[in-house]
């Protein structure tokens, strides 16, 4: 993952097997997009393409991901 910055970002994960998630990357949030569209755009930005049928992704705000790492 990239170095922390003050810019808002998402962390993107892909489900690789039932209940197993792999970190795909961290991408900057695009201002002006509604939340759901912003998360969908984050997946496309992380992959460099649109997701294919059957692929599952999870998108978490970087700030929440960092809080989760405090444990």
Distance CA 49, CA 61 (A): 20
Q: Residue 13 in contact with residue 22, Cβ under 8 Å?
A: yes
pLDDT at 71: 62
> Kindly report the CA angle at 45 between 62 and 47, in degrees rounded to 5?
105
Question: pLDDT band at 65, cuts 50/70/90?
Answer: confident
The residues, ordered by sequence, that sit 6+ positions from 44 with a Cβ below 8 Å of its Cβ are 50, 51
Q: Is the pTM of this model over 0.75?
A: yes
- Over residues 5-47, the pLDDT tens digits come to 568 999 999 999 999 999 999 999 999 999 999 999 999 999 9
């Amino acid at each position: 993952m990239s170095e922390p910055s003050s810019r808002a970002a998402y962390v993107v994960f892909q489900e690789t097997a039932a209940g197993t998630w792999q970190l795909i990357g961290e991408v900057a949030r695009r201002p002006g997009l509604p939340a759901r569209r912003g998360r969908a755009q984050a997946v496309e930005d992380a992959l460099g393409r649109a997701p294919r049928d059957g692929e599952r992704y999870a998108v978490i705000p970087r700030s929440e991901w960092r809080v989760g790492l405090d444990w």
